Structure 1
Amino acid sequence: MFLLTSLLSDVECCVPTGKTVMLVLQGSRWLLQGHDVQVVSTDYISRAASRMIAGQLGMALSADPTPPPTPGSVILHLYDFTNREADVQQAVTDLLARVKDGQLHVLLDEALFGGSDVSGQRLTTLVARLAESVPGLHLWAAGVLHTDIPPSLRPEPLTVPLRCAPSVLREVQKAVDRYGGVHNYSDSGVPAPGDGLRVIRLSHHGNAHTGRWPAECRQCGKEIAAELRRLGVGSGGNSLPNSPAPLSYCDVFIITRSSELQDDIEDDAGRVTSRASGVVRGLRDEGLPVCVLGEQDLRHNWARCERDLHDVAVAATDRVTVTDWCWVQGLERRVVVMLPGRHKEDDEGGNDEAIDVDDRLYAVSRCSTQLIMVDVPTVTTATSTAT
């Protein structure tokens, strides 16, 4: 992964190295210099991270004890390059209208350029047009694959892990060792204060478990809830050693890879037409407040998804987030529960090793402190659906 800038300098990243933090720090610097900062999201994959960056920049500015006489402003731009080609021209128009004294300051997180993805191709077009039109373009982008760097951006390596405990990093390292798309970690020269917490392992196995994957299983939801209770989540207490604050529900991500993950789907009259995924029902059986971010919810209620993405990005409501990992790229939580799963296209020819690499790079790397992994036996005999 990369963090890049146009016409200045930027940083190439391996996950998790704190590249989003770097964007926030650079944005804060621009604000204090009096520049407006344009935080741009071009599709739903970058929504949560962009909303978090905008929120943190706003808080940093308001918390400064000696703000400048004329600080800059934070402007959040939301587009959908995946489904609306016209949004590219709209983004160009909106951003050029924000140019001041020949300068424009832009932050892009989870910026996947080029490749075969239409959103990435359109993002490349946007950056090229801005670079052509604005001599004083200051653009920082994070989350860029080194194989798809636009010529107007200059990469620099950022490979020192800043955010995760060594016990979590070892799980991510298993993917880095097998995948050439990210750079390996480098030694910071400063020893970690400790190894971190032992990775907790649960199993999607036994007579009470149903479905091929944990996201389908109500019993998995109940067992995850029990483990979170044991950790003190939501109790006002804290059983994480050396942790400075109690664990809230919003400190937890439950992450999977599934196009079928969903909350209850309702018709216009408010009747439930399709039940929530089994793991969601199991969590709620045990009294946990849950927010679900999944592809099915996006298809049925985009407006609600936008509200929930903002809520999760700024941790506005104290709820456990159950999500496909593509929704929360750029975010992290103190506790992450990793559920193996599959998208429909994976079952049609997905490679198990490649899927495991993705899960570790994009899901396990969201964890800063306590990792919980749910193992799935090679053969699952229980295939009925929980009610």
Structure 2
Amino acid sequence: MVLQGLRWLLQGHDVQVVSTVYTSRAASRMIAGQLGMALSADPTPPPTPGSIALHHYDFHNREADVQQAVTDLLAQVKDGQLHVLLDEALFAGSVSGQRLTTLVARLAESVPGLHLWAAGVVHTDIPPSLRPEPLTVPLRCAPSVLREVQTAVGRYRGVHNYSDSGVPAPGDGLRVIRLSHHGNAHTGRWPAECRQCGKEVAAELRRLGVGNGGNSLPNSPAPLSYCDVFILTRSSELQDDIEDDAGQVTSRASGVVRGLRDEGLPVCVLGRQDLRHNTARWERDVHDVAVAATDRVTVTYYHWVQGLERRVVVMLPGRHKETDEGASDGMIDLTDRLFAASRCTTQLIMVDVPPVTTATSTAT
């Protein structure tokens, strides 16, 4: 996406980077930031390169945003042409997907010279005005990480399986580190609720050399910074401290967040509750994470960082109360692997949760 956008810019075309849902905010901000850096770093820029515009909408909650997006984008048409990038696009199975399909159809009808690139993990219900181009060769994950992701990819509806690149990997990569949400010091059903899990994850990150200017990852070219780490979950229990208008804390941060901070790690938290209680701060933090502006470990609901990658990813199992009722543990695990483990390029850390057992007795 960035390479195509840069090509348009160097040809003198303005590029519209569009996010239609909150789950594509980070990716759109990352693309816009990378385009700006690449354009400024070009040693021989054209006399009049194109400009970059970032457009954010909420198709999930606001139907009126579809017409607003059409109006905004049609206003950017120049000489009958419009150049649009849509990352983390999902056309299938949701109201926001149907509205995105409407947006693409309206633009295709109105702009003969429409150049629109959309990327997403699910390939079903693609509008007829778009030509599908499957990209299935893994480019950045180490083989040890890729095996964990492949467990889900081949079984998740609407997702293409990986294909063989034909080029053997130079090595298997680092072994996956496994921790356990188990033992007397651990509390809560899921790791996001557990202060001890935060402490143990912090200890593992310290062992890897995160944040100390050194590096314990073999054959890695640069020290590990805090901003090289994602801690990802789908748990609805994840949140930062929530404050009222007077600045008083009304609800404490999740246990895992407190455990990380107990051990001195700087943390940015992007939970679902944080979006609801302080949208402006959430938007600022998403921008910060997308461009890695601040050296902090990011602890987040994993759909908020779709399209982003980090060298170290910690995967915390969990469930979301509003959406996961009736879903099997196996289905949740597939989703975790597809959307969390896939964000990892080098070192994957998985926190295992023991199954719930129900004791039974028989009267005799």
| Superposition TM-score, scaled by structure 1 size | 0.91
Is this contact kept in 1: 2:229–2:311, CA < 8 A? yes
1:208–1:335 distance in 2 versus 1, CA, 3 Å: same
Q: How does 1:41-52 map to 2 (within 5 A)?
A: 41-52=19-30
Structure 2 partner of 1:9: none
1:35–1:353 distance in 2 versus 1, CA, 3 Å: same
Is this contact kept in 1: 2:230–2:300, CA < 8 A? yes
Q: 2: distance between equivalents of 1:125 and 1:87? A: 11
SS in 2 for 1:354: helix
Q: How many residues align?
A: 364
- Structure 1, residues 303-361: CA drift from partner, whole Å, max 9, x if none? 00000000000000000000111100000000000000000045521121111111111
Q: Aligned match of 1:60 in 13, 17, 38?
A: 38
- Structure 1, residues 242-280: CA drift from partner, whole Å, max 9, x if none? 111100000000001112210000001100000000000
- Structure 1, residues 160-199: CA drift from partner, whole Å, max 9, x if none? 1001000000000111232242122111111111110000
Q: 2: distance between equivalents of 1:100 and 1:61? A: 20
Is this contact kept in 1: 2:312–2:347, CA < 8 A? yes
Is this contact kept in 1: 2:154–2:160, CA < 8 A? no
- Structure 1, residues 119-139: CA drift from partner, whole Å, max 9, x if none? 111111111000000000000
Q: 1: distance between equivalents of 2:277 and 2:137? A: 41
Where do 5+ consecutive residues of structure 2 fail to align? none
Pick which of 306-315 and 135-144 moved more.
135-144
Is this contact kept in 2: 1:336–1:371, CA < 8 A? yes
Q: 2: distance between equivalents of 1:93 and 1:380? A: 55
- TM-superposed CA distance for 1:145, in Å, is 2.2
- TM-superposed CA distance for 1:147, in Å, is 1.8
1:383–1:291 distance in 2 versus 1, CA, 3 Å: farther
Where do 5+ consecutive residues of structure 1 fail to align? 1-22
- TM-superposed CA distance for 1:379, in Å, is 2.5
- TM-superposed CA distance for 1:47, in Å, is 0.1
- TM-superposed CA distance for 1:210, in Å, is 0.2
Structure 1 partner of 2:208: 231
1:219–1:331 distance in 2 versus 1, CA, 3 Å: same
Pick which of 340-349 and 309-318 moved more.
340-349
- TM-superposed CA distance for 1:200, in Å, is 0.2
- Structure 1, residues 184-223: CA drift from partner, whole Å, max 9, x if none? 2111111111110000000000000000000000000000
1:305–1:386 distance in 2 versus 1, CA, 3 Å: farther
SS in 2 for 1:148: coil
1:384–1:28 distance in 2 versus 1, CA, 3 Å: farther
SS in 2 for 1:341: coil
Structure 1 partner of 2:170: 193
Structure 2 partner of 1:12: none
1:279–1:361 distance in 2 versus 1, CA, 3 Å: same
Is this contact kept in 1: 2:16–2:55, CA < 8 A? yes
- TM-superposed CA distance for 1:383, in Å, is 19
1:109 has 2:109 as partner: no
Is this contact kept in 1: 2:70–2:106, CA < 8 A? yes
Is this contact kept in 2: 1:207–1:382, CA < 8 A? no
- TM-superposed CA distance for 1:43, in Å, is 1.1
Alignment RMSD: 3.9
Runs of 4+ in 1 over 3 A off after TM superposition: 380-387
1:386–1:206 distance in 2 versus 1, CA, 3 Å: farther
Q: 1: distance between equivalents of 2:154 and 2:163? A: 13
Pick which of 307-316 and 184-193 moved more.
184-193
1:383–1:72 distance in 2 versus 1, CA, 3 Å: farther
- TM-superposed CA distance for 1:385, in Å, is 32
- Structure 1, residues 281-313: CA drift from partner, whole Å, max 9, x if none? 000000000000011001100000000000000
- Structure 1, residues 81-125: CA drift from partner, whole Å, max 9, x if none? 112111111111110010011000000011111423x11111111
SS in 2 for 1:202: strand
| Superposition TM-score, scaled by structure 2 size | 0.97
1:255–1:386 distance in 2 versus 1, CA, 3 Å: farther
Is this contact kept in 2: 1:210–1:385, CA < 8 A? no
1:380–1:217 distance in 2 versus 1, CA, 3 Å: farther
Determine what percentage of the aligned residue pairs are the same residue: 90
Pick which of 81-90 and 274-283 moved more.
81-90
Is this contact kept in 2: 1:290–1:322, CA < 8 A? yes
1:348–1:115 distance in 2 versus 1, CA, 3 Å: closer
Q: 1: distance between equivalents of 2:191 and 2:247? A: 28
1:378–1:32 distance in 2 versus 1, CA, 3 Å: same
1:246–1:33 distance in 2 versus 1, CA, 3 Å: same
SS in 1 for 2:186: coil
1:382–1:234 distance in 2 versus 1, CA, 3 Å: farther
Is this contact kept in 1: 2:181–2:197, CA < 8 A? yes
1:374–1:251 distance in 2 versus 1, CA, 3 Å: same
1:114–1:385 distance in 2 versus 1, CA, 3 Å: farther
Q: 1: distance between equivalents of 2:287 and 2:347? A: 24
SS in 2 for 1:153: coil
Is this contact kept in 2: 1:297–1:305, CA < 8 A? yes
